[in-house]
Amino acid sequence: MSRQQPEQQAPPVQKLRIRYAKRGRMRFTSHRDVSRAIERAVVRAGIPMAYSSGFHPHPRISYAGASPTGAASEAEYVELGLAEVREPADVAAALDAVLPDGLDVVATVDAAGSTAGSLSDLLTASHWLVDLGDTSVEDVEKAVATFLATDSVTVERMTKKGLRSFDCRAAVVRLEVTPEGALDLLLEHTVPAVRPDDVLTGLRETGGLDVPGTALLTRLAQGVLDRVAGTVGDPLAQR
């Protein structure tokens, strides 16, 4: 007896792109837990979601460029596929009202009117602020100068595929020291991904930078890299 074919679901009639922030204690939440919180919030907010086809349909929710656990962010992105057309502002308000404290909707747009391309295609770089605590500003400036003067800085990190070695210097588009001694860092998204903590490892290995305690990482922006200007574009910008 042949297995019954699953019911085919209708495609989304509208796609909404949402920028949200991960603040406060939510910085310590994993991406898996954040995605579960968003999925529960979508149900509680009564958003009419479109579903995938197959034997196990799931709501059409797509994530892109999630920040690592332990990092705060003002620029996380998710796309919702809806079964009915809704005003983006209404969906944003309903979703924000039921999300946990520290997950905050910042902006919501209709994907049809925003920059063309998938979300992942529009997220090619991130702007980070790295707070180094009580580290001496002079020590930070010396380490940054040495790092930037080095053509290649190889670091190692354990990944899902095992221990990987990669050049963290190549992904650094801009690295400056703020008057407070924090790092203003613009990172290109590469494969494998280079994270701010990889750059800190590079600064320690090339310039001997010693950071007491744990650095606080905050992603300020994420979008399309403009290498000449040293900026990232807004992926939700209207056409």
Residue in this structure with the two tokens 């709501």, named with its chain if needed: 59
**What value does the mean pLDDT take over residues 94-117?**
95
The pTM of this model reads: 0.91
Per-residue pLDDT at 6: 62
Q: CA-based angle 94:62:70, to the nearest 5?
A: 85
Q: Which CATH number fits domain 14-116: 3.10.450.350, 3.40.50.300, 3.30.70.580, 2.30.110.10?
A: 3.30.70.580
Per-residue pLDDT at 37: 97
Evaluate if residue 162 carries a pLDDT over 90.
no
Evaluate if residue 2 carries a pLDDT over 80.
no
Q: Where in the chain is the domain with CATH 3.30.70.580?
A: 14-116
Domain 125-223 has CATH 3.40.50: no
Per-residue pLDDT at 91: 98
Evaluate if residue 1 carries a pLDDT over 50.
no
Which residues have CB under 8 Å from 40's CB, separation 6+? Answer: none
Per-residue pLDDT at 142: 97
Which amino acid, residue 197? D
| Upper half-sphere CA count for residue 5 (Cβ side, 13 Å) | 3
Mean pLDDT across the chain, nearest whole number? 93
d(CA 147, CA 145): 5
pLDDT class of 4 with cuts at 50, 70, 90: low
pLDDT in tens, 15-73: 999 999 999 999 999 999 999 999 999 999 999 999 988 777 889 999 999 999 999 99
